[in-house]
Amino acid sequence: MGTFNRSPAASGDTPRNQHRRISLVAAGSSQFAGQALGILIAILVSHLIARRMGAGPDADAFLLGRRLVTSLTEALSQVVVVVFIPLIAARAAAGDSLLRILGHSGGAALALGTVLAIAFALAAPAIVGSLAPDFDPATAALAAQVVVILSLSLPATVAAIAFSAYCNVRGRFGAPAAIRQLPRAATAFALLFGGGILALQASAAYTITFFAVAALTLILALGLGASPATGTASGPGSTAIGRRGSAAILLTFGALACIWLETAFAAGQGAGGVAMLDFSQRLGALCGNTLAMALGLVAFADLSWRAASGEAADLGRRFRHATVAGGALLLPVQLGVFINAGPVVDVVIAHGEAGTDAAARITELVRWMALAPFGALVTRMMLVRLLAQDDLPIVRLVGGAMALDFLSRLGLFAVLTPMFGLVGVPVALAVAPAVPVVFLAVVLRGSGVFAGGGAFRAARPVLAASALGCGGILAGAAAGPGLAQLLRPLIEEPGKLESLCQLAASGGLGIVALGAGIKVFGVKLRPR
């Protein structure tokens, strides 16, 4: 498998060999593993919201407020990653002191987060009113309060992302990602044991915990020490930094606009629309999107390091390999979600305040939502490739891609939601990424930006392992109902036995088959 460099080796080697070589699949798996606990906690949070709030006005208020702030957080993470990872990579390769790097990146991020927190908190009522004009006054007021409380977490959130960027450049992916899951755990704790206005208690728990996340991530970064110079680093100049900053701002506003757009269309579908959309995204796309983000982050850190170390000629090949390998890893995950959507919703959502009608609608949404991460992966990888190279007109390219992405979503939402209701939202999310992908491919044809041979040949082991894993998932899903019939006479209260058996058989057999494929086909999951 392809590798990238991080830690020093014997002197006298080329810069490429002066660092420990790590499989892209290994680093991506490490980043994803660090977030895997967060995925499980997010599913638990959805279960607790469904059990204690249902899919009604209270859930709409909490989830709308949370979506607004978390969408801003995700967009800000793109800014920090796009601006700071190349800068940190260049400074680390040049041998700058650890405190100087962290002081520059963390201080700037903290200031950015503070300004945005104040602005977002002040604008909360207006934002909620513009996106959800059909909310009744009590629901709108509760949503605005959630936004204000969660906005207070932004300074700590952005600082933690900046500290994580240094860890990523140094080859540490799993630990920073795992630490960032603590606020989700705090939210689950508040929902599980809280009383009164659960939405406000859960929001406060999330905000308070993120300050602990920032402190822990800083300690982790300081523990890594300084990176020795490669002797060949070429840091980005002020013009390149400015272009990256402008591109990051475009990414931020593009991401915010798209997420708020889908939220507004969901809110327009009546009471419970926002809650059902949020549940379906967490169950249908969260795992796949998290994997896509993990692979994109690893690829960006790798490409930025190579560009800073004078290895720009290898960027196209690395992009292709990362995209193909990422798609192979994503396929069994999303196939499992698509095939097992009914049992997943039955086990996680169909409890307490959430009725059977809502569960049936969410199941349909989950199946369509399972298709969305594939387009998101390809788009993310193409943008990563552009942003890692200084001599491209990245502002125009990113601006054009974001504009087309927004317009395609707007058009699809406007056409599909009147026809199919809330289902039109995930269908549009699955189709819309094709527009910016085609745009970038056409505009950059002949430039060699995405050129590079051997990607499929290098990814054959992970492709074969992925195919074997998919076979296991399908076989397990087919065997699940039969297993439930065998066990039913042995259990006094079978309850959701059939759903649990299908999930256990499909997931278990899929994991075994994927693991066997990794072993048999020699997929590299360890440093070499």
DSSP state of 350: S
Domain-embedded: residue 451? no
**pLDDT tens track for 332-383:** 989 999 999 989 888 888 665 555 677 888 899 999 999 999 988 899 888 8
Which two structure tokens, joined as six digits, stand for 95?
A: 């041998």
The 3-state secondary structure of 482-522, one letter per residue: HHHHHHHHHCCCCCCHHHHHHHHHHHHHHHHHHHHHHHHCC
DSSP state of 525: -
Which two structure tokens, joined as six digits, stand for 93?
A: 């390769």
pLDDT surpasses 60 at 106: no
Res. 527 pLDDT band, cuts 50 70 90 = very low
Domain-embedded: residue 111? yes
Predicted pLDDT of residue 3: 41
Q: What is the mean pLDDT of residues 207-214?
A: 93
**pLDDT tens track for 402-441:** 999 999 999 999 999 999 999 999 999 999 999 999 999 8
- Give kind and range of the element (H or E) at residue 20: strand 19-23
Domain-embedded: residue 92? yes
Are the C-beta atoms of residues 516 and 354 closer than 8 Å to each other?
Answer: no
Predicted pLDDT of residue 346: 86
pTM for the whole thing? 0.72
Q: Pick the residue with more confidence: 228 or 68? A: 68
Q: Pick the residue with more confidence: 447 or 101? A: 447
Alpha carbons 490 and 483: distance in angstroms, whole number: 12
Predicted pLDDT of residue 89: 66
Domain-embedded: residue 362? no
Alpha carbons 511 and 333: distance in angstroms, whole number: 10
Predicted pLDDT of residue 272: 78
Predicted pLDDT of residue 329: 87
**pLDDT tens track for 211-249:** 999 999 888 888 876 555 444 444 444 555 667 767 777
Residue whose tokens read 């086909």? 521
Res. 107 pLDDT band, cuts 50 70 90 = low
Res. 186 pLDDT band, cuts 50 70 90 = very high
**pLDDT tens track for 115-154:** 878 887 888 888 888 888 888 888 889 999 999 999 898 8
Question: Which three-class secondary structure state does DSSP give residue 181?
Answer: coil
Alpha carbons 471 and 512: distance in angstroms, whole number: 11
Q: How many independent structural domains does the chain possess?
A: 1
pLDDT mean across residues, the chain: 79
Are the C-beta atoms of residues 392 and 448 closer than 8 Å to each other?
Answer: no
Q: Which domain holds residue 84?
A: 23-223
Predicted pLDDT of residue 297: 73
pLDDT surpasses 70 at 493: no
Q: What is the mean pLDDT of residues 183-202?
A: 88
Q: Pick the residue with more confidence: 92 or 118? A: 118
pLDDT surpasses 50 at 7: no
